C-alpha cells in the first residue's frame, strides 16, 4: 500500500524539492529569444575515462575544454543500460515510472503485447509514448526545430516528436541514425544551417554509437594507445573514446565558425558506464563503473564555469533542465531538478538508480524484471537486490544488500552493510518512498 502522503511531501522527504524551479539560481526566462540546445550523449563510456576526470591515458581534449567552460557535476548517475537511460532522457522519469525497463521485450512479454493487438506502433514505443512529456515533442510544439541522430531504441524520430531525424524506421538501436559520428557529421551541420536560414531555434540530439562496440577506431587514434602495456581491448576502447571526442570537437568548431557558440547550450552525459576489459562492475551493473557519469552544461555568458565534485546529479534532471532553458513549462509530475538551479541542486539529498534484466519480462510490471535498486545519499550508497535474479548479461549484480562509503571507497571494495544495519534500513525506507512516487 502506498503511504498517505502528497506528492510534494514525499518529494521533500526523499530530498527532491517539488517540481518546478526555484526563482533564484536557475536559468533566466528565455521565452523571447530561446537559445539553441545540443544534447551530446556518449554511449558506453566509463565515468573516469576523460582527461578532465583525471585519466592518465584517455585523450579527450575537446570534452576537457568544454567541461572547463561548463557547470560540471562529476557525480552524475544514469541507468546501467541503454534503452532505460534513453527513455529517462525523453521522459524525465525513472524506469519504473516511464515503463521502459530493458532493451527488448522478453518472449513472454512480446507474446502478451502481441495478443493485446496494439495497432500502428511497437509495444515499446506504445509504452514510451504514454508518458506525460516527451522532450523533443515538447520542444517542437514550442517552436523549436528538433533533429535526432544516433541511438534512439525501438522508436522513430517522428514518433517521439522530432521535426526531423535520421531514424525513420523502428529498429533496435537507431537504424540510419547510427551513421552519425562514425561515418559523417554533415547531417547535423545541414540541419543547423537550415534552422539558421529559417531563423528558428534548434535542438540537436547527438547520440552517436560511440565509443560503443564495435570498437573499430581509425588507425590514427589506435596508434596513440598501442605499445603502452594495455590489452588489445583497452587499446581499441580508448581509441574509440578519442574518436568520439574528436567528433565533439568537430561539432563545437562548427558552432564557432557559424558564430553560434554564445547562443547555443551544450549539455553532456553518458548513457551508462563501461570497462575496457568488459569485466566485473561495468555495463549492466549497479556499481559505479556502470551507472556514474560526468554531466555538464555549457552556456557562454549565462552559466559560470564551475566544477562540482560533491553534488548529486541524475539523468532525470535533463528534461526539466532543457525545458527551463527553452522557456517551456513542463508537467507537474517530474521528479528531477533544473541542473542550473544551484540552490536546489546542492540541497538535494539523494538520487536513485534502477537495474533490470536485459529483456523486459512484462510491460507495466517493472518488478518482474527488477534486479537491483540503488540509492546514493550523500556519500553513502545502498544496493538492494530486487525480486529477480541477474540474467547472463549481469556479471556483478549483488545477491545480498551492499552498502558503501563512496568518499573513502569510490570503487566499492568494502561492503559495510553488516556493520551499519540502521543506516541500511534508513536508506531502504527512502528508496521505497521514491519507488512509491510512480504516478
128-181 tens-digit pLDDT: 999 999 999 999 999 999 999 999 988 999 999 999 999 998 777 888 899 999
Instruction: Count other Cβ atoms within 10 Å, centred on residue 117.
Output: 6
384-413 tens-digit pLDDT: 999 998 877 777 889 999 999 999 999 999
SS (H, E, C) 211-258: ECCCCCCCHHHHCCCCCCCCCHHHHHHHHHHHHHHHHHHHHHHHHHHC
**Looking at residue 12, what is its pLDDT?**
42
Q: List the end-to-end C-alpha distance of the chain, in Å, as a whole number.
A: 14
Architecture (CATH level 2) of domain 34-348: 3-Layer(aba) Sandwich (3.40)
Q: What is the enclosing helix (H) or strand (E) of 381?
A: strand 380-385
**Looking at residue 439, what is its pLDDT?**
54
- The alpha carbon torsion through 383, 42, 339, 253 (nearest 10 deg) reads 160
Cis geometry, peptide bond prior to residue 38 (ω within 30 degrees of 0): no
Q: How many helices (H) and strands (E) does the chain have?
A: 14, 14
DSSP secondary structure string for all residues of 265-307: EEEEEESS---TT--SSSTTSSSHHHHEEEEEEE-TTTS--EE
CA-nearest of 15, 94, 20 to 378 is 15
Residues 165 and 182: their CA atoms lie apart, in Å, by 17
Measure CA 116 to chain center. Answer: 31
**Looking at residue 25, what is its pLDDT?**
39
Instruction: Count other Cβ atoms within 10 Å, centred on residue 175.
Output: 17
CA-nearest of 214, 217, 271 to 246 is 217
CA-nearest of 82, 37, 83, 97 to 268 is 37
- The alpha carbon torsion through 290, 102, 366, 380 (nearest 10 deg) reads 10
pLDDT, one tens digit for every residue, the chain (439 residues): 333 344 444 444 444 444 433 333 344 444 468 999 999 999 999 999 999 999 999 999 999 999 999 999 999 999 999 999 999 999 999 999 999 999 988 887 777 766 555 555 678 888 999 999 999 999 999 999 999 999 998 899 999 999 999 999 877 788 889 999 999 999 999 999 999 999 999 999 999 999 999 999 999 999 999 999 999 999 999 999 999 999 999 999 999 999 999 999 999 999 999 998 866 668 889 999 999 999 999 999 999 999 999 999 999 999 999 999 999 998 888 999 999 999 999 999 999 999 999 999 999 999 999 999 999 999 999 999 999 988 777 778 899 999 999 999 999 999 999 999 999 999 999 999 989 876 5
E strands present in 172-220? 202-207
CA-nearest of 245, 360, 376 to 315 is 376
Q: Is 432 exposed, middle or buried (0-12, 13-18, 19+ CB in 10 A)?
A: middle
Residues 207 and 187: their CA atoms lie apart, in Å, by 13
**Looking at residue 183, what is its pLDDT?**
96
**Looking at residue 106, what is its pLDDT?**
86
Amino acid at each position: 500500500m502506498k503511504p498517505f502522503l502528497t506528492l510534494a511531501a514525499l518529494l521533500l522527504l526523499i530530498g527532491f524539492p517539488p517540481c518546478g524551479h526555484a526563482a533564484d539560481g536557475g536559468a533566466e526566462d528565455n521565452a523571447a529569444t530561446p537559445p539553441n540546445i545540443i544534447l551530446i550523449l556518449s554511449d558506453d563510456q566509463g565515468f573516469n575515462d576523460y582527461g578532465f576526470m583525471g585519466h592518465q591515458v584517455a585523450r579527450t581534449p575537446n570534452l576537457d575544454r568544454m567541461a572547463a567552460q561548463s557547470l560540471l557535476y562529476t557525480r552524475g548517475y544514469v541507468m546501467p543500460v541503454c534503452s532505460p537511460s534513453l527513455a529517462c532522457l525523453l521522459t524525465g522519469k525513472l524506469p519504473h515510472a516511464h515503463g521502459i525497463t530493458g532493451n527488448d521485450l522478453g518472449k513472454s512479454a512480446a507474446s502478451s503485447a502481441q495478443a493485446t493487438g496494439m495497432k500502428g506502433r511497437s509495444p515499446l514505443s506504445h509504452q514510451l509514448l504514454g508518458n506525460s512529456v516527451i522532450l523533443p515533442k515538447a520542444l517542437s510544439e514550442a517552436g523549436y526545430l528538433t533533429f535526432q541522430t544516433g541511438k534512439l531504441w525501438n522508436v522513430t524520430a517522428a514518433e517521439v516528436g522530432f521535426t526531423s531525424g535520421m531514424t525513420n524506421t523502428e529498429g533496435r538501436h537507431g537504424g540510419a541514425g547510427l551513421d552519425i559520428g562514425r561515418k559523417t557529421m554533415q547531417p547535423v551541420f545541414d540541419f543547423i544551417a537550415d534552422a539558421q536560414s529559417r531563423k528558428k531555434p534548434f535542438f540537436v540530439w547527438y547520440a552517436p554509437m560511440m565509443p560503443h562496440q564495435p570498437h573499430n577506431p581509425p588507425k590514427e587514434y589506435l596508434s596513440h594507445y598501442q605499445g603502452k602495456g594495455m590489452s588489445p581491448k583497452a587499446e581499441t576502447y580508448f581509441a574509440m573514446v578519442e574518436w568520439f571526442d574528436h567528433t565533439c570537437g568537430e561539432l563545437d568548431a562548427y558552432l564557432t565558425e557559424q558564430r553560434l557558440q554564445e547562443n547555443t547550450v551544450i549539455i553532456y552525459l553518458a548513457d551508462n558506464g563501461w570497462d575496457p576489459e568488459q569485466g566485473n562492475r561495468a555495463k549492466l551493473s549497479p556499481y559505479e563503473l556502470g551507472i556514474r557519469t560526468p554531466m555538464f552544461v555549457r552556456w557562454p555568458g549565462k552559466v559560470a564555469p564551475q566544477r562540482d565534485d560533491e553534488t548529486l546529479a541524475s539523468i532525470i534532471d535533463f528534461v526539466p533542465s532543457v525545458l527551463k532553458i527553452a522557456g517551456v513549462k513542463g508537467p507537474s509530475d517530474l521528479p528531477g531538478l533544473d541542473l542550473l538551479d544551484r540552490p536546489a541542486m546542492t540541497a538535494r539529498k539523494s538520487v536513485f538508480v534502477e537495474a533490470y534484466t536485459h529483456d523486459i519480462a512484462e510491460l507495466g510490471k517493472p518488478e518482474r524484471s527488477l534486479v537491483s535498486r540503488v540509492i546514493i545519499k550523500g556519500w553513502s550508497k545502498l544496493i538492494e537486490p530486487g525480486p529477480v535474479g541477474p540474467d547472463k548479461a549481469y556479471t556483478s549484480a549483488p545477491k545480498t544488500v551492499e552498502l558503501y562509503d563512496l568518499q573513502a571507497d569510490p570503487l566499492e571494495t568494502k561492503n559495510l552493510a553488516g556493520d551499519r544495519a540502521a543506516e541500511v534500513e534508513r536508506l531502504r525506507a527512502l528508496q521505497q518512498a521514491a519507488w512509491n512516487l510512480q504516478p
